[in-house]
Structure 1
Amino acid sequence: MWPLALPDALSVGPLTLPTALLVALLAYAAALWVVHRPAQRLGVDLAGVVWRAALLGVLAARLGFVWQFRAAYLAEPLSILNVRDGGWEPQIGWVVAWVYALAKAQAQPSWRPTLLKAVGLATAVWVLGAVSLWQGSRPGGHTASGATPWPEAPLQALDGTPVSLQVFKGRPVVVNLWATWCPPCRREMPVLQRSQQAHPEVHHLFVNQGESAEQVRGFLQAEGVQLQHVLLDRPGQWAARFDVVGYPTTLFFDAQGQLVARRVGELSSATLQAKVQALLAPQRP
């Protein structure tokens, strides 16, 4: 058992920060720490080399994801700039960062030991962080404990009818935890609506946290959003069950009702498509 399980997001006052970002910053800081003294001794700007390697890696990680889901991004070109959607391919980014560092080390042999140590330590920090995040997201980890993670208490439909979530099992399920006062929740609703229409084989549930039926109906009418399975969780049992630190939070369950992924923060068409494809992949021949 891996000794450390990290949550996927941390709440700092009013801010919700993805833990992956903090791990990436820690990896960058580790690389800078390695090059600090040798750079002073050699009289060269090794911190600049580390910065450029990191920048190229970040760009490559983003562009790798954008290329993979280019149809979704081309439909909304400005969404390419919205890096808050969580669309990254870290493996591609690390390969590019290593290639740049190795090229610099080859051109300047005196830099080689320091650069290799810096990028190696940064990579080790990232890998350890990624494993800890994976450990925290799996059933039994920080974010999903127990064999049957769904709360047992029924939710309410907008007309007040109790709804047992047992009726949704047997298919993959996307559960969006949201509130009408949450701007990112409002922005991502059309994305989720399109996904619900495009993937009838996946249940999409919109579980409002803590608000009344009148508030939710007023929001849906004002925004012109047409959704199926809008449910009310007045006591916030889902947020408590999954240690939610901010909204929106979207949970992804397989057909057996097991939590397999979650996303804290706004989804784009591409990042939601990636998650839904991963849910459907085991079912396809």
Structure 2
Amino acid sequence: MISIGPFSVQLVLLAIVLFLAWVIARFLALRPKDDKRKAAGGLLLDAVFWGIVAARLVHIFQWRDEYLQKPLSIIAISDGGYLWWAGLLVAIMYVLWRTRKIPLLRQPVLIGMVAGMLIWLVAGNALSMMQRSSIDFPDVQLATLDQQPVSLSAYRGKPVVLNLWASWCPPCRREMPAFEQAQEQFPDIAFVMINQGESLKNVQGFLQAEQLMLNNVLLDPVSRVMHQVRARGLPTTLFFDAQRQLQGVHMGEITAAGLKSKIALYFD
């Protein structure tokens, strides 16, 4: 799993892109007065803020049925729920509105935004390709709740969503209903819930207490899958297509809306 210390590489990349866009906007706004440089940098950051807010709100509206079922999931901003084209449009409109009386700032800020977006797209695609090529579909022997051996290679010919979890992990517990719902709505996708490092008794006790009806719960008592995919924490969800090629990884808790939006992105 590509990361830098405790932070995902996507988060680090976003910080770098914002900094570069800010530097470009300030540099292009370099005029006799230094206050224009400060104004350009501040305006760009304001536009990015409102763009992110808009991207989140449009995503929430798009998946409103899922969010209405669990309203608190709206504030789970780490689920990756953003519609970036909407955010970019709002950011551009914000800049145009704010610079209607100070047109000298318009070009530097817009160029900074466009440059940042291009860097984000190029670097993001490169990182995505690196991640896809660095993680293979884990082909290991695990066990079912009936204590029967099973290989992950048995899930072939259809898209597979692997979720690594443990009952002691609060985010893992919170996201379980989303997977229970998804397995009913997407029968052509195998949702495989691989418990990491716990005993059969603990897993069965948790599932019974939470009244969860999950189809593919497997036991990985020595966390071999977690080591193979180099996951840095739980929960981690990996999305593989029917050819067992990695399409995406989500680190941390995922909401029902976040899960369905990624299924639509990776498998439609």
Please give the TM-score of this superposition, normalised by the length of structure 2: 0.87
Distance apart, 1:168 and its partner CA: 2.0
- Map 1:43-192; keep pairs closer than 5 Å: 43-44=35-36, 45-138=39-132, 140=133, 142=134, 144=135, 149-192=136-179
Query: Counterpart of 1:115 in 2: which secondary structure?
Result: helix
Uncovered stretches (5+) of structure 2, i.e. residues with no partner: none
Residue 30 of structure 1 corresponds to 20
- Map 1:253-272; keep pairs closer than 5 Å: 253-272=240-259
Conserved in 2, the CA contact under 8 Å of 1:252 and 1:279? yes
Structure 1 residues 40 and 87: alpha-carbon distance in aligned structure 2, compared to 1, 3 A threshold: farther
Distance apart, 1:30 and its partner CA: 1.9
Report Cα offsets for 1:152-203 as digits up to 9, x if no partner.
3311112321112233212221111111222111110111111112222221
Which amino acid in structure 2 is aligned with residue 73 of structure 1? Y
Quick one: which of 152, 171, 182 aligns to 1:195?
182
Q: Does 1:18 align with 2:5?
A: no
- Map 1:205-224; keep pairs closer than 5 Å: 205-224=192-211
Conserved in 1, the CA contact under 8 Å of 2:138 and 2:229? no
Distance apart, 1:53 and its partner CA: 0.2
Return the alpha-carbon distance in structure 1 between the equivalents of residues 204 and 239 of structure 2: 25
Conserved in 1, the CA contact under 8 Å of 2:234 and 2:252? yes
Q: Percent identity?
A: 35
Query: Counterpart of 1:163 in 2: which secondary structure?
Result: strand
Residue 221 of structure 2 corresponds to 234
Which amino acid in structure 1 is aligned with residue 17 of structure 2? A
Distance apart, 1:42 and its partner CA: 4.1
Which amino acid in structure 1 is aligned with residue 94 of structure 2? Y
Structure 1 residues 278 and 30: alpha-carbon distance in aligned structure 2, compared to 1, 3 A threshold: closer
Uncovered stretches (5+) of structure 1, i.e. residues with no partner: 1-6
Please give the TM-score of this superposition, normalised by the length of structure 1: 0.83
Return the alpha-carbon distance in structure 2 between the equivalents of residues 73 and 278 of structure 1: 18
Distance apart, 1:208 and its partner CA: 0.9
Query: Counterpart of 1:43 in 2: which secondary structure?
Result: helix
- State the aligned residue count: 264
Conserved in 2, the CA contact under 8 Å of 1:26 and 1:125? no
Distance apart, 1:40 and its partner CA: 8.9
Structure 1 residues 123 and 280: alpha-carbon distance in aligned structure 2, compared to 1, 3 A threshold: closer
